[in-house]
Amino acid sequence: MTNSHALSVSQSMVRFVVILHLVLLVSTPTRADQQNTTALDQNTVYRLDLFTESLKPTLKKELKKGAVYFRYSSISGRHVWSRFTEGKRFEFAMGPGSVQPAWKFDIRERRDDQLRLLENRSPELYKRLTVQGARPMIKLLEDGHWELDAASNEGRVFDLESGERWEWHGGRQIRVVHVGGIHWKYHNQNYQPAYNILVGW
């Protein structure tokens, strides 16, 4: 197998996993959300299970670097979606409007199961995305559900704990600022400066 063929096969596998996630998101709303967390253990980290669309406990030794998980934040006093970093810690408490690549979620299902599910649910979507080479993004809603975000092609995060916003451009993480500083609030499906800005002449 040549290097170019191996790369092509690898890219196809990644694209397939992303498409599977997309189909599941489009088919039904995800039940895992930030609203109903009373039954969750504060010491347990959860991953989104794509087949049952529910949260599954995940051992800390099984956490994948760069993946998005649902964990309890003592700062926020609730469960939040966060990314597991190379330094083996969680960053961000993702708030509404945060967007992540679909492949950032810890997918455990076998390839055969993925193929079978995809063929049953949406062969047209699979064909279209495979041909177009789409890189699907998903957006966190106010009710804690994730949904397909066709308008985005890069990730962004609104951090509930710091009030800061971050965007990724060409793989680079960039802080979003406004005239009065770096802190934001989320109101009526929009981001606004966290304090009033007085402009004088």
Partners of 173 in the β-ladder: 168
With contact defined as beta carbons under 8 Å apart, do 107 and 53 qualify? no
Phi, psi (deg, nearest 5) at residue 24: -65, -40
* pTM for the full predicted model: 0.73
Take residue 4 and report the two structure tokens written for it: 């170019």
pLDDT at 92: 95
Contacts by residues 9-18 (CB-CB < 8 Å, ≥ 24 positions apart): 13/111, 14/103, 15/129, 15/130, 15/133, 16/111, 16/114, 16/115, 16/118, 16/130, 17/103, 17/107, 17/114, 18/101, 18/102, 18/103, 18/135, 18/136
**Count of CB atoms within 10 A of residue 165's CB?**
22
| Measured distance CA(87)–CA(65) in Å, rounded | 8
Alpha helices in 80-136 (DSSP H): 111-121, 123-132
CB neighbour list of residue 43: distance below 8 Å, 6 or more residues apart: 72
| Residue 34 DSSP label | S
Task: Going residue by residue through the chain, which has 201 residues, state the pLDDT in tens, using 9 for 90 and above.
Answer: 555 544 444 455 455 555 555 554 544 444 555 567 788 999 999 998 756 667 899 999 999 999 999 999 999 899 999 999 999 999 999 999 999 887 788 877 665 666 566 556 656 555 555 554 556 678 898 888 887 777 788 899 999 999 999 999 988 999 999 988 999 998 888 888 887 555 555
Partners of 186 in the β-ladder: 191
pLDDT at 85: 93
The residue assigned the tokens 């609104």 is: 158
